[in-house]
Each structure stands twice: as C-alpha cells, then as structure tokens.
Amino acid sequence: MILTVTLNAALDITYRLPRLRPHGTNRITEVSERPGGKGLNVARVLASLGHRTVATGFAGGGTGEALRALLADTDVTDALVPVGGTTRRTVAVVDEATGDTTQLNEPGPTVSPAEWDSFLGTYRELLDGARAVALCGSLPPGVPVDVYARLTRAARTAGVPVLLDTSGEPLRRGLAARPDLAKPNADELAALTGSTEPLRAARDARRRGAHAVAASLGPDGMLAVTADGAWQAAPPQRIAGNPTGAGDSAVAGLLSGLVEDLPWPERLSRAVALSAATVRAPAAGEFDAATYEELLPRVVVTDHPSAA
C-alpha cells in the first residue's frame, strides 16, 4: 500500500458563483465539501488510479467528524489520529466569470505532545506495510518544525521511499534528512534557494539533500532533476478551470510512478496530465478522467542531460 501523511487535514469547501463581487453580497450557486489537505487529496487521486492507499494525520471536532464521514465514502483507508482540537476548513471561492479562485485557509488545531506521540506510534506501525510514503502540507500549531525530517528518517530506517511536499522551514529541514523526492512549486523553490531560475534552483535543492527534485511550474508543467538526468514536461495546451489541488494530483502521479518503477519521463508525463486534468475537475482530490486520457500521450517531455 501507499501511505500519505496529512498533519493539517482540512474539510475542503468549494463555493461557485457567477461573479465574485468584493465588498458586496455574493450568492453561491453551488457548494461542495470534500476531505482535504494535501495528503488526503493525494490519497484520493492514488485510489482513483487503483492503488491501495492509507491516509494518516490528525482529525478532531465536528469538522473532523464530517471529514471522516466523507472519507469513508472513498476507497482510501482512514488511519487518522483523533485530536481534541477542531480540524480546520479551507474555502475555495470560484468566480465562474473569470475562472479565478480565491482560497481561504484556517490554521488548524493545536496538537498536544500526547497526541503527537500517538501519531508517531501509528505512523511507525503503518510504515511496516508501506511501499512508499508521501509527507504533505503545512503543520498545525504544536507540531515541531523539524517534523518532516523526523518522519523522513523513520521511513528511511524502515526502507520506505519518501516523497516530501511542503514549504518554508519544514521543507529546508526535511531536505537535510534526504527524502527520495521533494516536490516544491516554483515559488517554494525560489524561497528555499533564492534563485528564480527553476533548473538552477532545483539543482540547489537537490544538493541540500533530496535524491531527486520535481518542481511544479504551474501551467508550464514540471521540471525534475535526478541523479540520472533532468527533464521538463509540459502539457500540450493550457487548461482553464480551478487549479486547486493540481499540485496534489501531480504528487499522486509521481508517487504512483515511483512504486510502479516507471522511467522518469513517464512519471512526469503522468504527473503533468493528472495535474491538468484536475484543473478541469470540480474540486481538489479529483481529476477529469477523459481529459487525463486525452492529454497523457500528448505531454511534451524535454531532456536536459547536462543538468543532473
């Protein structure tokens, strides 16, 4: 199975309206709720791709109960650890006139030392049956900033490949623990390295400890720098829609390619096609299957052999 970790899980709420009017009254035409947070989005896409997937992290309060009820309707196995605080909500407001999305994210519950210890016990048990693990997203209050470094080292000790998808100081510290793959976006990569040139920044991030770095470039696709070479993959056309969760679908593509032992160009093609197909879907953690099948063979992959 594939294990995903979402320490700051969320109940994702998507509002759709004909036009967003700041400073005025807005009437919502459609509301959807999904189990969210980056790792849960990844888990749902992996399950849609046919991989047995287990999701762990924290959930608490009425929002956490609603999240778990929604998760029970998916093919993802729930191994979330209860907390006394209330799981956060994230709200995406989609302006259908412009296609723009406004995102509002709550901070999440404070995690106590006892709750953290309970999670660590669950995590170590789950590693025993995992083929790979994804460590994803922001940290809730009360969780140590070096948590992803700790979880990466535990997975590596258990012989389980690690994909790290976070930002800021947790990313910097996590890289030092040598994850198998780091997946920042272009802005996160620039903040980490100080370079706005993606290829140079990805090489720098790899020197900081990651065995490979795959950087999301938004509508321009994805760049990967590995020990065997570097490649950039781009969709054949720009896709209009809601980009929320597109990066999480890319993580699912990369992780599924890792456990299936696909060559890097095929992993990138899958990640880019899934990401673009998610833009066409109504909510994060989902992708438009027809768009994915149509785009997958048309993703353009460019080789940069001198950049590894």
Q: Does the active-site annotation cover 204? A: no
How many other CB atoms are found less than 10 A from the CB of residue 242? 21
* Residue whose tokens read 């993959």: 233
Q: Which is the catalytic residue, given 73, 248, 261, 303?
A: 248
Residue 54, strand partner residues: 3, 77
| Phi, psi of 229, deg, nearest 5 | 150, -175
* Nearest alpha-carbon partner for 273 in 225, 216, 234, 223: 234
Question: What does 204-257 look like in DSSP terms, one character per residue?
Answer: HHHHTT-S-EEEE-GGG-EEEEETTEEEEEE-SS---S--TTHHHHHHHHHHHH
At 98, the amino acid letter reads T
Name the strand (E) or helix (H) holding 169. Answer: helix 168-176
What positions carry a catalytic annotation? 248
